[in-house]
Structure 1
Amino acid sequence: MGVYAIEPGCLSASAAIDKANFARKQVRSNTRVSAIQFDKKLEVKQTLTGELLSGLPQALENGEFKLYLQPKFSPKDLSVIGAEALTRWIKPDGTVVYPDQFIPILESTGRIVDLDLYIFEQVAQFLQRNAQAGHRLLPIAVNASVALAREDAPTQEYSEILEKHNISARMLEIELTETAVVSEYDRVKRLLSSFQSDGMQTSLDDFGAGSSLLNNIVDIPVNTIKLDKLFLTRCSSNARGTDFLREVVHLVKRLGYNVICEGIETEEQVQLLRSLDCDGAQGFWFSKAIPAEEFERRYLCS
């Protein structure tokens, strides 16, 4: 159930019921919590949900979702080898909304596919602009939601965007999380195969964060496995964990996948990655996500 304690400013019984019902929808079947009370935090989320559901097309048209890029580095020589595309919603009044606030809402409503496609085109435009300027190009990974796997002919629009901007498919990589792959394995497998057939790279994000794909990893159609930050942190806390992490990395590499570690925050972790022979890394120790224009100045113009 959802609970709303009626306040003096409540406009009507209908508004009170809407708030209680919104709280009810936050109850998850996989927890022991059976009732949630509407509070200030949920009020912010309810407002944001309403803005997204009614105003997403206009926000996309106005360019309110800005492209950010987090660089990927080689642990061996600290050279930049690529980037992951992220986004920030910057409203007309200057308010910055971060992905952890709006992505879950868009995923739960199915509207995330619209944003994913928009960011993909932003990346294609970014690559086209730098190619025309004679700058060096680096491959960029773009996140995709499991909702895309439920669409008909889901990769056609992606291929059309690449053709429109005259960008080679090998410069783009599509990332899906391990949780998404586990939840819709057969559909996602077909989706990833379709992207690969179109010439794009594919990667499995957040590996080791929760549900395990170890029993299916031998035939998942991806080029890269990204080890989750928590997996790395847990395994590097003692000698036994480090040995286990080393074996996991070597196993994944022997299967023919590239290995990238996420969430690197310390010099010690960088040294560990070097000893493990990881192909790439990203995290705050190297760089946070930065606006695309700043990424261009730092890493492509030199």
Structure 2
Amino acid sequence: DINNFSFVNDNYGYDAGDSMLNDFSSILNSMKKVIKGSRINSDLFLLMISGKDKNDIMSSVNYISEKFYNMQKQKYRSNNFTVASGIYYICEKGEDVAYAIDNADLARKNIKSHKELNVCIYNEDFRIRRTREKSIITKLQNAINERQIELFLQPKFSMNSRKVIGAEALARWRNPDGTYKLPFEFIDVLERAGYIVELDFYIYEESLKCIKRWQRDNKKVVPISVNFSRKNNINPEFTQKVLNLAEKYSIDNKYIEFEITESAFAENTLAMLSNMNTLRQHGFKVDIDDFGIGYSSLSFLLNSPIDTVKVDKVFVDGIEKSNYHREFIKQMCMLINTTKKEIIFEGVETENQADFLCKCGFDIAQGWLFDKAIRVDDFEKKYIYI
């Protein structure tokens, strides 16, 4: 398929999109090695290419990509219109055609999660992974209904006073044997499949229930920050659903913060900023997560409706590596301070790291030096009901 094809339709019109499809078709029609070719839908094409060996077929695929890229380069100054190709080699006569097409499509879809690739060759791991992903997706709703998805809280600390000043909400999926699936085992799967929206709001509502309980019992209430995926953040109905749930539990909005990863700003920035502005207007705080490893700049921080910057663990790890790393993180955070944003350091694991950050004038952090993410009842016993 053609990467960024929807950008042409949205910004140049459908006639321009049709012209691009015709360009691609003209390349295929000019190639004798393309035995069969058809457009399945939109910008998705299916080809059967002959070759004396695998390298010969790969050369044909690369030729198509390069030829198409050069054609579009003449029409568009900003040319990001590359071709993503999934390849399955048919090595024996009598192979099932539907199976071969499905395998090529699995290879193509693998490119979508590895944007540095333009060509991917099928291997059996793709099918194994899809089977596992289907299992996770199928089990999600039941896991929520049966409360197998649990809210864990990782405390945020003042490094100077060593007192809890907040918490981050995290999802853990309990297995039948009592062990837990960690986020990397299911979050990305749900994100790709579009089911992350349901999980995000489940964790948000569980967080609201915690705050409601602490208020009811006249206990110390600490803010909880909740992670929301890009799919939620660009949804025009997102903020209204957030507000409706907060109203349902009669929560003071100052006790909820929304964490948005830095990489989420790569697409639909205007929609994202609109939602963030709306949240802040209603008293919520907005945090940018994993700062420093993605797309942000100082000018972005100056002009964006953000309250808190969470500095990624990769910078904290550098504190104990060299003077260069220490000076870098110090200067970076001093620049962030000029934007009047609060700073939280992620992944603080040693006293040396905490001491350095405190001496630089910073205070708030989370990490295993203080506590890991723990079950809600354990969090309440240690930090709330005391």
Taking structure 1 as the reference length, the TM-score comes to 0.88
Partner of 2:229: 145
Local SS of the residue matching 1:134: coil
Task: Map 1:26-65 onto structure 2 (within 5 A).
Answer: 26-28=110-112, 30-32=115-117, 34-39=119-124, 42=126, 45-65=129-149
SS in structure 2 of the partner of residue 216 of structure 1: helix
Paired position in structure 2 for 1:9: none
Q: Distance in 2 between matches of 1:15 and 1:132?
A: 58
Of the three residues 148, 169, 180, the one matched with 1:85 is: 169
Give the whole-Å Cα distance in 2 for the aligned partners of 1:118 and 1:175.
15
Q: 1:268 aligns with which of 344, 349, 352?
A: 352
Partner SS for 1:256? coil
| Candidates 61, 67, 74, aligned match of 2:158 | 74
Query: How far apart are the structure 2 equivalents of 1:94 and 1:4?
Result: 43
Q: Does 1:96 align with 2:180?
A: yes
Give 1:273 deviation, angstroms. Answer: 1.2
The correspondence of residues 1-302 of structure 1 with structure 2, limited to 5 A, is 1=86, 18=102, 21-28=105-112, 30-32=115-117, 34-39=119-124, 42=126, 45-92=129-176, 94=178, 96-234=180-318, 237-302=321-386
Gaps of 5+ in 2: 1-85
Task: State the distance in 1 between where 2:224 and 2:298 align.
Answer: 26
Tell me, which stretches of 5 or more residues in structure 1 are unaligned?
7-11
Secondary structure of the structure 2 residue equivalent to 1:215:
helix
SS at the partner of 1:204? Answer: strand
Q: CA deviation at 1:177?
A: 0.6
Q: Would the alpha carbon gap of residues 5 and 278 (structure 1) be closer, same or farther in structure 2, given more than 3 Å must change?
A: farther
- Is the Cα contact below 8 Å between 1:236 and 1:245 reproduced in 2? no
1:184-219 alpha-carbon deviations (Å, 9 max, x no partner): 322211111111112111100000123333231101
Cα deviation per residue 1:93-134 (whole Å; 9 max; x = unaligned)?
A: 545221112111121122211111110000001111222223
Deviation at 1:62, TM superposition (A): 1.9
Report the AA paired with residue 213 of structure 1.
S
Q: Work out the CA distance in 2 between the residues paired with 1:216 and 1:79.
A: 32
CA apart distance, 1:24? 3.8
Aligned length: 296
Q: Report % sequence identity.
A: 32
Q: Does 96-105 or 24-33 show the bigger shift?
A: 24-33
Higher-Rg structure is: 2
Describe the superposition over 1:251-270 as per-residue Cα deviations: whole angstroms up to 9, x where unpaired: 21232110000011111111
- Pairwise CA RMSD of aligned residues? 2.5
Distance in structure 2 (CA, Å) of the matches to 1:71 and 1:3:
48
CA contact (8 A) 1:4 1:38 kept: no
> For 1:35, what is the secondary structure of its paired residue?
strand
The 2-side partners of 1:219 and 1:274 are apart by 28
Larger relative contact order (CA 8 Å, sep ≥ 6): 1
Q: How much has 1:19 moved relative to structure 2?
A: 5.7
Separation in 2 of the partners of 1:93 and 1:23? Answer: 34
For the 8 Å contact 1:27–1:35, the answer to whether it is kept is yes
Alignment partners' CA distance in 2, 1:167 and 1:56? 28
Is the contact between residue 236 and residue 271 of structure 2 (CA under 8 Å) also seen in structure 1? no
Mapped partners of 1:201, 1:102: distance in 2: 27
